[in-house]
Amino acid sequence: MNIKTYLLCGTVALAMASCGGNAKKQTIGSSETKAAVQAIGGDSLYTLAVQVGDVQAMWIRDNAAERLMPRTLFPDASDALMDSLGLAGGVPSSVSVFYVKTDGAGILFDTGLGAADSRLLSGLQTFGVVPADVKYIYLTHMHGDHIGGMLAADGTAVFPNAEVYVSQPEYDFWMADKANRQQAAAMDAYRDRLHLFHFGDTLPGGVVAMDAVGHTPGHTVFQVGKLLVLGDLMHGAALQQVRPEVCATYDMDKEAAARVRRHFLRYAGENGLVMAGMHLPVPAFD
Ligand SMILES: [Zn+2]
């Protein structure tokens, strides 16, 4: 395995050899990578580029401050379980987005919180990407920490050329209630280039949209090559990879959320996929 790691002021670019999917997965979680990540560590690490077959996947940590999902977010987990996993004080997490280059197209998966200290645009810049370069935005769902970066403070679209894709049921759910102003404003700003897809559709760039309903009514997992973009399948990986039946309070349909979590964890394992999760701990690949 040929691993090259570059450390560049807060950025780790990791080039990996092209070999079997399982090998790649191990590389991302390898001790070399972890050591490189720890060498930068903490708040200063916020981007990472990995090559997964033909797909170039770039991670950006949108949150500037450390992120710990509070223990109270997982009320169904017993104190004994949390203690045994060392998670009584909370579960390590992040608010992450991914920028993927495949077939020459630049695809942004979700847009983070859009907070004043968001690292979305500065993170893209570390890869030489400006907002006008983003050709597609694929949304896993429409919670505020996933669509917040679509709009500037003045309510205009941040990405002037991006075609936006979201699942039909997700769009229908949020648009049915006028109280959902943030969602309505985001969709309105991109209304001339908005596309509603169905589960099973293949989107531009060869990205397959997969049914992961549970967290929200149209929650989507995307697969491109050997990369699986999880969205909010897991909010506390250290807990939910061990106990996929445990839901976060954010999951709107807990039974369905637990079912698809189990399904996609098994699917990723069986197919040697690299998982990219919006709330996986730093760096948000597994
Ligand atoms: Zn989220």
Q: How far is the CA of 19 from the centre of ligand 1 (A)?
A: 32
Q: How far is the CA of 278 from the centre of ligand 1 (A)?
A: 7
CATH value at residue 130: 3.60.15.10
Which domain, by its residues, includes 238? 53-277
The answer, yes or no, to whether residue 24 has pLDDT greater than 80, is: no
Rounded mean pLDDT of the chain?
88
In a domain, residue 145? The reply is yes
Mean pLDDT of 265-286: 93
Number of domains in the chain: 1
pLDDT tens per residue, range 28-85: 555 555 555 655 555 567 899 999 988 999 999 999 888 889 999 999 999 999 999 9
pLDDT tens per residue, range 222-245: 999 999 999 999 999 999 999 999
In a domain, residue 124? The reply is yes
pLDDT tens per residue, range 102-158: 888 899 999 999 999 999 999 999 999 999 999 999 999 999 999 999 999 999 999
In a domain, residue 283? The reply is no
Residue 4 pLDDT grade (very low, low, confident, very high; cuts 50, 70, 90): very low
Q: How far is the CA of 113 from the centre of ligand 1 (A)?
A: 9
Q: How far is the CA of 112 from the centre of ligand 1 (A)?
A: 8
Q: Which long-range contacts (CB under 8 A, 24 or more apart) does 172-177 make?
A: 172/217, 172/218, 173/216, 173/217, 173/218, 174/142
CA atoms within 13 A of residue 36's CA, in its CB half-sphere: 24
- Length, in residues, of the chain: 286
Q: How far is the CA of 89 from the centre of ligand 1 (A)?
A: 20
| Beta strands at 163-167 and 136-138: parallel, antiparallel or unpaired | parallel
Q: How far is the CA of 236 from the centre of ligand 1 (A)?
A: 11
Q: How far is the CA of 34 from the centre of ligand 1 (A)?
A: 24
Question: Rounded distance, CA 177 to CA 61, Å?
Answer: 31
Q: How far is the CA of 279 from the centre of ligand 1 (A)?
A: 7
In a domain, residue 257? The reply is yes
In a domain, residue 77? The reply is yes
Question: Rounded distance, CA 204 to CA 134, Å?
Answer: 13
Q: How far is the CA of 57 from the centre of ligand 1 (A)?
A: 19
CA angle 246, 248, 250 (to 5 degrees): 145
Q: How far is the CA of 38 from the centre of ligand 1 (A)?
A: 25
* pTM for this entry: 0.89
Question: Rounded distance, CA 217 to CA 142, Å?
Answer: 10
Three-state DSSP class for 70?
Answer: coil
Closest Cα partner for 233 from 256, 209, 212? 212
Q: How far is the CA of 94 from the centre of ligand 1 (A)?
A: 9
Sheet strands (E) in the chain: 3-8, 11-16, 47-52, 55-61, 68-69, 91-92, 96-102, 105-109, 136-138, 163-167, 194-197, 202-203, 207-211, 220-224, 227-231, 274-277
Q: 235: which 2 tokens?
A: 């909010």
